[in-house]
A and B are shown apart, each in its own frame.
Chain A
Amino acid sequence: MKLDELTKTSGEWLRGSGPETDIVISSRIRLARNLARYPFPNRADNATRKEITQLLGSNLKELERSNPLYVWDIGSLEEVDRQLLVERQLISRDLAEKDGARAVAISYEENVSVMINEEDHLRIQVLNSGFSLDECWEAINLLDDQIESKVTYAFSDQFGYLTACPTNVGTGIRVSVMLHLPALVLTKEIQKVFQALQKINLTVRGLYGEGSQAMGDFYQISTQITLGLSEQQLIKKLQEVIPSILEWERRARKALVAANREALHDQISRAYGILQSAQTISSEETMHLLSSVRMGINLDLIHELEIPTVNELFIHTQPAHLQKLHGEKLESADRNIARATYLRERLAESNGTAE
């Protein structure tokens, strides 16, 4: 598996299948785990970090799995490749940017990634398309058992799995789903959603996690608490809440159509038109317009385009992806031209195939 191949494919989680994919892009579970006999990454010197990276990397590589894991040493990757992994949601910005020995293990389908020496020794992640938390849990629970049979985790009867930050101790779990909520943004009801979620200890983030803004109307809703509730209880909590947000978004979409179908259709068609013909376009504008188009497809106002293509365009028009496609570093202005060219080509292609 080569990193360059990533620009031609797209992660399984973007394939737009599974339940509720008009609104739920993906479901994700992560587990934070640490080795019992080592200091946490922030407190380990680089020799120790190297040892940890080697120990975990070689164990992960050798796990017997139907989807084996490939390990990359992050420090030896070029900046554009590190950025590429961030754009594809396979590593955190923090892992890409920090110093010292660190690595990531990824499955070919990109639905499994294990970060080594991020905030914790291990950050295990399973990412699936659609609203599919049970499948995520099944897969991650199995992988966690596999790793645990090779190494000794730091665990206490009282506090559960021990983590560098006490906010993750216990199950070390974060359960999240990525939602596309353009109508709630348009109708300005999104703030109410945030408030409602905050009251029940759920967190809202942007597309690229902590500290990222909500680009393209994508929101990640995740659990916050890790101690005192079991993994199943936390998963259930999200499974119970998400349907009402979906309902809320669908109602807002209906309201928008009912209020002024022509205006909405016009706005969506113009967005599509710009994407098909622009000669230079920024990342923000692209995300914004793709969001309209994505909603347009779900509302049956655009027919010649499919959801997986749009999902992919959100990722493939990010800076590192464009640079990989061009095989060279692009300055911002050149990137905007490259992005517009790429969009025109991809949209012309999918127009051709859909007819």
Chain B
Amino acid sequence: MTAAVYTEVKTPFRRPTARKGSLFQPVPVFAHSWPGSSTVMKKCSRCSKIATLHITEINEGKVDELHLCESCAKMYLNQPPSNLEEEFPAVEVEFAELMEEDEPEDNPAEEIACPSCGITYKEFRSKGRLGCPQDYIVFKPQLFGLLDNIHNATQHKGKYPKRAPEASQKQFELIKLRNELNEAVQQEDYEEAARLRDKINSLQEGMQEET
């Protein structure tokens, strides 16, 4: 059995009550921290949305940190602890209400608006969705930290549009090859690694000649 213990109560929370006829037991004392200016955004541990609820769970003496998005948090809170077969009760938790109570403190950087769609970083933070592709340029400094947190990376290494200019296509090819090279080395496939290194070198030479 898992015993969920939640610490750090910051916001008064309306406890969900059991529905008639359901097997659901009200959740034990509940605690969480809402995103404030000091918290870094994390990715939901159950899906890929941005987590808005952070829970410390103690399982058999082991401490687990859980970061959940709004919809997964609803599921989590309404789930009878560690019982998969039981009915899933539809207890409503007023998240929007809770979010309002804990607005992050005013920070001038958070108020800068995207000239193209008008969204501010603060707005993005509360909604978890950006407004337009430009935002990746406007909020680049903030996004670096966020992306590093979510993906553990800040540089794309994958497919690129065929329409991309030739120079950036080569750039991508290089990134991809370096990536493959790392993997080959890790897997001790030295033959493949040597082949990749040659390819990288010739590509780099070609790029230097062009500039």
**What residues make up the interface of A, taking CB atoms closer than 8 Å to B?**
34, 36, 38-40, 42-43, 119, 141, 144-145, 148-149, 152-162, 164-171, 173-174, 185, 190-191, 198, 203-205, 210-211, 213-214, 224-231, 233, 284
Contacts and interface: CB of A to CB of B under 8 A. Distances in A.
A46 to B, nearest CB: 15
B50 A165 contact: yes
Contact of B46 (A160, A203, A229): A203
A158 B154 contact: yes
B116 A205 contact: no
Interface in B49-94: 49-50, 71-72, 74-75, 82, 84-85, 87-88
Contact of A174 (B48, B72, B160, B162): B48
Interface of B: 43, 45-50, 71-72, 74-75, 82, 84-85, 87-88, 116-117, 119, 127-133, 136-137, 143, 146-147, 150-164, 168, 171-172, 176, 179, 183
A231 B158 contact: yes
Contacts of A158: 136, 154-156
A334 B23 CA distance: 25
Nearest to A33: B161
A242 to B, nearest CB: 19
By Cβ-Cβ distance, the 6 closest A-B pairs, closest first, are: A228-B153, A160-B156, A154-B133, A43-B131, A227-B151, A211-B71
11 contacts: A34-B133, A36-B133, A167-B43, A167-B50, A167-B150, A170-B151, A171-B159, A198-B45, A203-B48, A224-B43, A233-B179
A205 B150 contact: no
Contact of B87 (A149, A174, A211, A284): A284
Nearest to A194: B46
A199 to B, nearest CB: 11
Contact of A166 (B147, B158, B162, B168): B147
Contacts of B158: 160, 170-171, 173, 229-231
A166 B47 contact: no
A122 B46 CA distance: 23
A190 B87 CA distance: 17
B151 A165 contact: no
A164 B153 contact: no
A233 B158 CA distance: 9
A165 B87 contact: no
A43 B117 contact: yes
A44 to B, nearest CB: 9
Contacts of A148: 161-163
A171 B176 CA distance: 13
